[in-house]
Amino acid sequence: MNEKERKSFHESKWKKLTRQRWFYPTLYITLVAVVLAGVLVYQFTGTDDVVNDDYSWNVEQNDLIEHQEDAEAAAAAGEEAEAVTADQEDLVLPVLLGDRTEIMTNYYDVDASAEEQEDALIFYNNQYYQSKGVDITSTDGEPFDVIASLSGTVVSVEDDELLGLTVELEHEGNRSTVYASLSEAEVQEGDELSQGDKIGVSGENVYSGADVSKVHFQLHEDGEPVNPGFE
């Protein structure tokens, strides 16, 4: 077979092959597979690694920055909270009676039980009044020293027609305390007192009889009486 005959034979064989129904679908699928394989190889060996590395770096850096910012904020808040807490005194009873302390009348709390609210009512001149403070006495009814529940400044010493001799102290945080029903006061306006300093001696007022010596105590926040929470 000469060269011309050989060439003619191959062309005839190729034409027969291309006439087969499966030829072009098979050719198309093969080409698609080759292209996809090339794309996958490129992604796994090149660009994808760079993208993943950059992404991982960014995530780690962002997490680190956020962690540092959170830590700094928490530290600042903690320092501020410690400073405030350190300056804020806890309220104490205005007496040093220990186990001999007796609370006669408590603060009238709108959230208290009906029984507790009834015990916090004051009967005077044929009417009931809600107590705005706490009446404290001794178990033997004898006079006792009254002390400052918080450190502060004496802003008034006056004789109230209903509450008797009354001393008021102002404190930090828009708070003030009132000590009423005193028989005598040992402080004067402008005095600076520390927590526990003596203010005066218990006495009486028109709400109670002469046989009971007590102190009527009130805690005010922003000018309004609040429950001091004595048990």
174-219: pLDDT as tens digits: 999 999 999 999 999 999 999 999 999 999 887 766 678 999 999 9
- Residue 150: the pLDDT is 97
- Residue 72: the pLDDT is 57
State both tokens at 5. 């005959």
Contact 163, 155 (CB under 8 A): no
Which residues in the chain come in under a pLDDT of 70?
A: 1-28, 31-87, 208-210
- Residue 49: the pLDDT is 47
- Residue 206: the pLDDT is 79
Alpha carbon distance 11, 32 (integer Å)? 26
The 8 Å CB, 24+ separation contacts for 166-174 are 167/199, 167/200, 169/193, 171/89, 172/87, 172/88, 173/88, 173/221, 174/221, 174/222, 174/223
Give counts: helices (H), strands (E), the chain.
4, 12
Number of Cβ atoms within 10 Å of the Cβ of 122: 16
- Residue 27: the pLDDT is 64
Whose CA is closest to 149, among 98, 215, 197?
197
Which residue reads 């400052």 in tokens? 148
Alpha carbon distance 14, 22 (integer Å)? 14
Identify residue 204 by its one-letter amino acid code: E
CB proximity list for 83: less than 8 A, separation 6 or greater:
none
pLDDT digits (tens, 9 = 90+) for 139-152: 998 999 999 999 99
State both tokens at 144. 């006792």
Contact 93, 149 (CB under 8 A): yes
